[in-house]
Structure formats: structure tokens, C-alpha cells
Amino acid sequence: MRVGLLLCDDVAESLKDKHGSYPEMFATLFGSVDERIVINVYPVIDGLYPESIDECDAYVSTGSRYSVNDDAHWIAEFEAFIVRLNQLKKKFVGICFGHQMMAKALGGEVVNSAKGWGIGVMSTAVKKRPTWMEGERERFALVVSHSDQVTRMPPGAELIAGSEFCPCYMMQLGDHFLGIQGHPEFSKSYVRDLMLRRREAISPQRVETGIVSLSSAVDDEWVTRNLLNFLRHRR
């Protein structure tokens, strides 16, 4: 399967030597589950897109330091691309920023949450178990890093997972679009360094709590298997 990675940001230069880039993170993540996955990288943050939608079988978008509500040309262009993917019923998984753009572009709502930053390891409840989801798991945990949240899903979307802190954590639209707030591609080590780098913006107290949470187990492999299941699945 050819997966187009829509690069909405990348690791800060000061952290790349230790943690690698976003494309490297996703190559490691997908390769740990299926070595046959081929990744084509498209830096949409620089306005670079596939010449043809059919260059890839499916698309995955990364997170971003930016908000989907920011007034920037590349964000508006990315929103238009998400609308086009939806119109063509092309398989797409939006992670964090991509999850939020899926909502915003298709008629939902994204706001800067009054609950503050979600950071570190957080657990969420499975609200609906689609046929592509493995097992009978009731909850799963991932690392997160976000201050914006989806507060209204786009029309027709189904809630797959949510928590008290983040009610719309995972959603599905039709057979082709899936959004998730957490980061299966992020290591705990990277999230720790990211928290420390953003300490003042997040708040020292929330960072301290987030660092303590990193002792909890995460379900990144299980989530990744399910994301790939979704990209391959047809009803």
C-alpha cells in the first residue's frame, strides 16, 4: 500500500538529532506493523501536493504546532485538499491537526479548549467498535500534545472514542475518513522533550503532571494496526 504522508509540520531542528523527523517516525511506526507500506512524503506546509490524488492509495496527515483556525495560506490550501479527498472518497487518516482539520473542513467546529493543554499519556474510552477495530478493548492510551479540540463533529461523522477531557478523540466519516487526536508516532522521550521545550506556553504545573503520566503504558502498536486496518477496509 502506498501511503501519502501530508507533512503539516516537522520536528524542531534542535530535537531532530535525538528524535528524527516526522517522516522517519511514521516510517518506523508503519514498518513495525507492515514492512510493505511505502510512504510518499508531501510537505503541504510548503505548498507541495501530489500531482494526482491517485499517486497514493491512502493519505495520512501529521500533527502541527499551528492551529487549523490560523489565517495562513497553506492552512487554507490544506483545508481545500481535505475537502477534495472527501469528495473523491479517498482514504484518509488525520492525526491531531489532521483530525481537527477533518472536522473544520467538513462543517464541524474546532476551538482552543478551556480545559487547557492535553499533554503526556491520556486514556480514552471506545464508544463504538467498527468492524475494522481489533479485539474487545474498552479503552486505549496514547501520548497527546494539543490545546485545540474538536467540539462539534462534521455532519454524518460517527464518534469512535472519547474521554471527559477530550470528548471527540476519534471519529469516522463514511468508509473513507478517520480522525484521531493522539499520536501513535510520538515516542514518550520525544513528548517529554517537547513538553520541556514548550514549558512556559503549556504551564510548568501541567508539564510536571504530563511528565509523571509518561510512566503509563501506551497502545501505539494496537492503534497503528487499527489505522492500517481502516485504510485497507471496505464495507
Q: Which residues carry out catalysis? A: 96, 183, 185
Contact (Cβ atoms closer than 8 angstroms) between residue 97 and residue 59: no
- The residue among 204, 189, 212, 209 whose CA lies nearest residue 11 is 189
Query: Which of 169, 170, 179, 184 is closest to 220 using CA atoms?
Result: 184
Q: How does strand 157-162 pair with strand 148-152?
A: unpaired
Measure the CA angle with vertex 150, ends 28 and 9; round to 5°: 40
CA 210 – CA 226 distance, rounded (Å): 26
Look up residue 51 and give its three cell numbers. Answer: 500531482
The residues facing 173 across adjacent strands are 157, 177
